[in-house]
Amino acid sequence: MTSAPLFPKGFLWGAATSAYQIEGSPLADGAAPSVWHRFAHTPGLVANGDTGDVACDHYRRFREDVALMKELGLTAYRFSVSWSRVLPEGTGPVNAKGLDFYRRLVDALREAGIVPLATLFHWDLPAALDDRGGWLNRDVARWFADYTRVVVRALDGVALWATLNEPWVVTHGGYLQGGLAPGHRNLFEAPLAAHNLLRAHAEGVRALKSEGTSPVGLVVNLEPKVPASRSPEDLAATARADAYMNRQFLDPVFLGRYPDELRDVFGEAWPEFPAADLDLLRTPFDFLGVNYYSRSVVRDDPSERPVRASRVRQEGALHTEMDWEVYAPGLFDILTWVTARYGRVPLYVTENGAAFSDPPSAGPDGILDPLRTGYLRDHLRAAGRALAAGVDLRGYFAWSFLDNFEWSHGFSKRFGLVHVDYATLRRTPKASGRFYAEVIRTGGASLDAAG
């Protein structure tokens, strides 16, 4: 029996990476440090003292990597541009050699028939801009728009643009909880950083629109928040957690307002924002990228600041090496939730994947990773169900194309479809990568039979 293909023709089948996580050579050819270079070079902040100095050496091996993408049949690839490669000071003079790297990458992708999706900011703010206040300085929106113009003019082969990756993680990890660059722990800074990220997104959209016609989007990480019980306390905690992680970023860009719960979450640290800013934040754009990894079952917990809510670990469920619950129906839930709340916005799953432990080197049988394969299979099926339910889903990008530098975890967490041996930098497609290749080849039909 053959069933109708779940995925329409032209659906993008991709994988994603980001600059600092894979490129290496962060200071080569005139590039200057980013906040992540500084963070990783501060002893004690990243597991095992790992840094992005070499990472996957993609900066020098990108042709080999594009050939591997082609071998796996990827039809799209999401990468990010390192701001401090292109503009070492963050503003001002352009580093032609840095820009050239991305030009060559985009050309190689085009030649291989792979659609390039470029993210302009995936966490590696130029250190020179951090010295000027970084995301706390209101001028950052203009700096970002100027940088956007430089990149867009140079890379006309990019088919889809994303402004920011996961503003929530930047503000929560970078300004409040401190585990990510630039490592601040300040309740009062977090909402200002979040607001300036969204202002930068909006100014970036305007810059892109004034330069050309490629669709432009925003990438957010979303997590369905599910109450642990029907108690009024747990229900209120769930609403706060949802407002903090999900609606803090989507309500302003689609509805022009912040969720009411944020006043309660931040207390006196919640500022009054100028009304004109909220008009700016609502600047129309073309698609939303959704990064989905897990859900969160939430209970009221006054000791957890600032949301006064904590996650209830689902004992008995499979968890990844990140201790994230594997919960594929959550992808369907979140895609249909976005569509119900904000309208039928064109969506891409811009990241989805799992860290499970693989050996450091591939043996004669390659890398057999049934847990990652199962994760992909179940999430791709959930994506298919979302399509069937009327979600305007246009593509799926697995995180990640390669094993890479997983931020504060260093190289200890492997998310790749392709294994990287960090001693030799040898690449080996994993069984999950081969599985995904077959899904792509059959336009999703092989998912029906896949166990």
Among candidate residues 166, 203, 325, 406, the one labeled active-site is 166
* Rg of the Cα atoms in the chain: 21
In single-letter form, the type of residue at position 45 comes to: L
Positions 108 through 167 that interact with ligand FCB (CB under 6 A): 165-166
Positions 7 through 36 that interact with ligand FCB (CB under 6 A): 18, 21
User: Do 90 and 126 touch, CB atoms closer than 8 A?
Assistant: yes
CA dist 235 and 225 (Å) reads 10
CB of 359 to ligand FCB, least distance (A): 20
Residue 321 annotated as catalytic: no
CB of 165 to ligand FCB, least distance (A): 5
The neighbouring-strand residues paired with 389 are: none
Q: Interface mask (CB under 6 A) for ligand FCB, residues 288-307, using x and -? A: ---x----------------
Q: Looking at beta carbons only, is 292 or 435 nearer to ligand FCB?
A: 292
Whole-Å CA distances, 428 to 66, 291, 304, 365, 439: 14, 25, 42, 10, 19
Q: Looking at beta carbons only, is 13 or 415 nearer to ligand FCB?
A: 415
**Per residue in 282-318, is it b (16+ CB within 10 Å) or e — as a string?**
bbebbbbbbbbbbbbbbbbbeeeebbbbbbbebeeee
CA dist 145 and 66 (Å) reads 29
CB of 257 to ligand FCB, least distance (A): 26
- Beta strands 115-121 and 216-221 are unpaired
Total number of residues that touch ligand FCB (CB under 6 A): 12
Rounded to 5 degrees, what are φ and ψ at 379? -75, -35
Interacting residue with ligand FCB among 406, 427, 432, 447 (CB under 6 A): 406
Considering the rule CB under 6 A, would residue 351 count as an interface residue with ligand FCB? yes
Q: Interface mask (CB under 6 A) for ligand FCB, residues 167-206, using x and -? A: --x-------------------------------------
Among candidate residues 261, 325, 351, 406, the one labeled active-site is 351
Interacting residue with ligand FCB among 221, 246, 310, 428 (CB under 6 A): 221
Residue 351 annotated as catalytic: yes
Task: Name the nearest CA neighbour of 160 among 347, 380, 291.
Answer: 347
CA dist 98 and 3 (Å) reads 47
CB of 291 to ligand FCB, least distance (A): 6
CB of 418 to ligand FCB, least distance (A): 15
Of 6-14, 55-63, 389-397, 399-407, the segment contacting ligand FCB by CB under 6 A is 399-407
Considering the rule CB under 6 A, would residue 266 count as an interface residue with ligand FCB? no
In single-letter form, the type of residue at position 337 comes to: W
Other Cβ atoms within 10 Å of 48 Cβ, number: 9
User: Do 132 and 68 touch, CB atoms closer than 8 A?
Assistant: no
CB of 8 to ligand FCB, least distance (A): 26
| Contact residues for ligand FCB, defined by CB under 6 A | 18, 21, 165-166, 169, 221, 291, 351, 399, 406-407, 415
Residues labelled as active-site residues: 166, 351
